[in-house]
C-alpha cells in the first residue's frame, strides 16, 4: 500500500470546503464604513459587489491602509497610514479614526478588480494550484457571478487533511 502525499481517492470541490454566504460590501460603501464592517466582523477583506449583487472586485484592510500611505507619501508627511484622535496605541480600527484620503472616498476607489474565482464544482486541487500560482490567500466562489462562498488557504489545508483522514479510515 503506497502512501499518497495528497488525497486523490476523493475529489473534493470548492463547495466542500468554502465558507458559505460570504459577507460582501457594495462598491459605494465609504471607506470609514468599510473599516467598521471589517473590524466588527473580524475579517481582513471582503468581496465587492455591484447593485445586482455581482462580484466586481475584492477589498481588504490593506487597501484602506494603502490609500492613506500613498496620499501621505505624496504630501511628504511620512508613511502615516491613518491616525486616531484619542490614542495611537489602539487596535487598527477606532470610531475616531481619521484616514488620509478625501472624505468622499469609497470602496470603488480602492478595491482590486483582479479577482481569482472558482465555481462550486471546481476541484479543490485546482483551487489550491491557483492560490499557489498567483500568490493569493483567498478565492471567491461564484455562481452566475454572485459570490456564494470564499475559500482561504486554511480551508484548503483543512479539506486536504479531512480527505486524507477519511481515506485512511476507509482503509481500516
C-alpha cell at 33: 464604513
Per-residue pLDDT, 113 = 94
Name the burial class of residue 163, with classes exposed (0-12), middle (13-18) and buried (19+) by CB atoms within 10 angstroms of its CB.
Answer: buried
Give the residue with greater pLDDT, 100 vs 113.
113
Per-residue pLDDT, 107 = 94
Each residue's pLDDT tens digit, 129-153: 999 999 998 999 999 999 999 999 9
What is the percentage of the chain residues whose pLDDT exceeds 70? 72
Span 77-104, average pLDDT: 46
Give the residue with greater pLDDT, 75 vs 14.
14
| pLDDT beyond 60 at 22 | yes
Decide: 17 and 155 in contact? Cβ < 8 Å: yes
Could you tell me the residue ranges of all domains in the chain? 14-171
Per-residue pLDDT, 131 = 95
Provide Rg for the chain, Cα atoms: 20
Per-residue pLDDT, 94 = 55
Per-residue pLDDT, 88 = 37
State the fold for domain 14-171. Answer: CBS-domain (3.10.580)
Alpha helices for the chain (secondary structure H): 14-17, 31-40, 61-74, 107-110, 124-134, 153-171
Predicted model pTM? 0.74
Span 43-67, average pLDDT: 90
Amino acid at each position: 500500500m503506497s502512501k499518497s502525499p495528497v488525497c486523490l481517492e476523493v475529489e473534493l470541490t470548492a463547495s466542500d470546503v468554502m465558507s458559505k454566504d460570504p459577507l460582501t460590501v457594495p462598491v459605494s460603501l465609504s471607506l470609514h464604513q468599510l473599516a467598521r464592517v471589517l473590524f466588527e466582523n473580524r475579517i481582513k477583506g471582503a468581496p465587492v459587489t455591484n447593485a445586482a449583487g455581482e462580484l466586481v472586485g475584492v477589498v481588504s484592510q490593506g487597501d484602506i491602509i494603502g490609500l492613506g500611505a500613498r496620499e501621505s507619501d505624496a504630501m511628504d508627511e511620512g508613511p502615516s497610514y491613518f491616525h486616531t484622535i484619542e490614542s495611537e496605541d489602539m487596535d487598527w480600527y477606532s470610531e475616531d479614526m481619521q484616514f488620509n484620503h478625501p472624505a468622499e472616498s469609497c470602496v470603488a476607489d480602492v478595491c482590486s478588480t483582479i479577482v481569482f474565482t472558482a465555481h462550486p464544482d471546481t476541484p479543490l486541487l485546482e483551487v489550491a494550484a491557483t492560490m499557489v500560482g498567483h500568490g493569493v490567500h483567498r478565492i471567491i466562489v461564484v455562481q452566475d457571478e454572485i459570490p456564494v462562498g470564499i475559500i482561504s488557504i486554511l480551508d484548503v489545508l483543512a479539506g486536504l487533511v479531512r480527505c486524507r483522514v477519511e481515506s485512511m479510515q476507509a482503509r481500516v
